[in-house]
Amino acid sequence: MDQYHGTTILSVRRGKRVAMGGDGQVTLGNLVIKASARKVRRIHQGEILAGFAGGTA
């Protein structure tokens, strides 16, 4: 059976407003390595929201 991996990043846009959030958990297989990662960040002087997933997170 294939093993599925995923990261929770959710983004919602309504008009010119955007909400973005993510869980803070980083795992390696079934082991939680970090429970407080910042996967959503503001970049470029706060004008861009970025969500990091997978190995980047």
Paired tokens of 44: 């470029």
Helix (H, G, I), strand (E, B) or coil at 4: coil
Paired tokens of 51: 């969500």
Which position among 7, 8, 27, 56 bears the catalytic label? 7
Note if 8 is an active site residue. no
Residues with catalytic roles: 7
